[in-house]
Structure 1
Amino acid sequence: MSSERPQHEGLEARIVDAVAPTIEHMGYELVRVQVSGKERPVVQIMADRADGAPFRVEDCEAISHAVGAVLDVEDPIKGEWSLEVSSAGIDRPLTRTKDWVNYAGHLATMDLMVPQDGRKRFRGVILGADAETARMRLEDGQDIAVPRSNIRRAKLVLTDALIEATAAAAGLPDQQEDAEDPASEDPTPARRN
């Protein structure tokens, strides 16, 4: 399985190169790697299931064990460090072309490394992307195209429309319809195993 990997530099790029093949072989897609902290760095791995199924705690555990073993062997960080594995979440970072394409029509923010049109920070509706350029319609109605290599950080903004779209994609019932329809209420409390 070969998928587009997020763009990283330096230490984070070395970590991506080390862990991405393992993550992909396990049936996941790497969304982002971020290293934070100086004295005891934290390696944050964000992933999705390649099959589109909901990401669960068991997925985090599986990735954590596998990636921890790879990083112990590769040893990209000298000294003590810790590992955190999570899903991308609803207000996910936009790191891959597919993120920009799949969430077209949703609100996002974007921070640039080098100013464009005198600005480094943008907010607007995603229009799409290709491997080289991300497109967005700003809140003032202006359309912009930004070289992806100039994007420092981009992420979805949590909105009702995004929550509804995410729930629909996961096959969950519309919460608003359930709240308005008293017949849909089940007096039996939900149980989780």
Structure 2
Amino acid sequence: MKLSTKVAELTNIIAPAVAACDVSLWGIEFAPQGRRSLLRIYIEALPEDQAQDKHVTIEDCAAVNHQVSGILEVHDPIAGEYILEVSSPGFDRAFFSDEQMHAYVGQTVSLRLIQAIGTGDQKRRKATGTLDSIDDKVLKLTSSDGEQFEIALSNIDKANLVYEDA
């Protein structure tokens, strides 16, 4: 889940604009697509607002879109045309950093790995299960069939929360 140089640059430019709208930046996806790129920004309610069960609204997304559009016009970090989308991360949120996963210990996550784990015919590049623990180097995961995995954080390409209807 290492950020590309371009996403890191965009994060530095965009984060203050998002903070000015009284929400927090959850993550950024940037997908160059020929002459027209896609910039998707995920925003989250501030922790103190989440404690009061407040969530991101459409008005929050519109305010961030307006604020970020102005910042991007001034800095012009994206060559050519681009589409700007602002959204909440949703129930099946993607994780953009290892630190974000700490709050979801005990919940189900889905991982796509850089290198396969396991032995013999059981090698896999995807793993889904309950996030048992996470520290600064590895996470421990238990699959639905009881299989346990210890996965290096540096081996995770993509991670998502798996939404489970209560």
Q: Into which bin does the TM-score normalised by the smaller protein fall?
A: 0.7 to 0.9
Higher relative contact order structure (alpha carbons within 8 Å, sequence separation ≥ 6) = 2
Q: CA deviation at 1:98?
A: 5.1
- The answer to which structure has the higher strand fraction is 2
Structure 1 SS opposite 2:78: coil
AA paired with 2:147?
Q
Q: CA deviation at 1:73?
A: 1.8
AA paired with 1:111?
R
Q: CA deviation at 1:93?
A: 1.1
Structure 2 match to 1:108: 109
Structure 2 match to 1:11: 6
1:132–1:47: structure 2 CA closer, same or farther, 3 Å change rule? Answer: farther
Matches of 1:129 and 1:96 in 2, distance apart? Answer: 12
Q: How much identity, in percent, do the aligned residues show?
A: 28
Asked if the contact 1:7/1:13 (under 8 Å) is kept, the reply is no
Stretch deviating more after TM superposition (42-51 or 22-31): 22-31
1:130–1:24: structure 2 CA closer, same or farther, 3 Å change rule? Answer: farther
Matches of 1:130 and 1:156 in 2, distance apart? Answer: 17
Q: CA deviation at 1:97?
A: 4.3
- TM-score calculated relative to the size of structure 2: 0.82
Of 11, 19, 43, which residue of structure 2 is paired with 1:47? 43
Stretch deviating more after TM superposition (76-85 or 151-160): 151-160
Unpaired segments ≥5 residues, structure 1: 1-5, 162-193
Runs of at least 4 residues off by over 4 Å: none
Matches of 1:149 and 1:79 in 2, distance apart? Answer: 33
Of 129, 133, 142, which residue of structure 1 is paired with 2:138? 133
For 1:1-193, what aligned pairs fall within 5 Å after superposition? 7-36=2-31, 37-50=33-46, 51-52=49-50, 53-97=54-98, 99-117=100-118, 118-161=123-166
CA RMSD of aligned residues (A): 2.0
Q: CA deviation at 1:80?
A: 0.9
Asked if the contact 1:12/1:33 (under 8 Å) is kept, the reply is yes
AA paired with 1:137?
T
Matches of 1:139 and 1:67 in 2, distance apart? Answer: 41
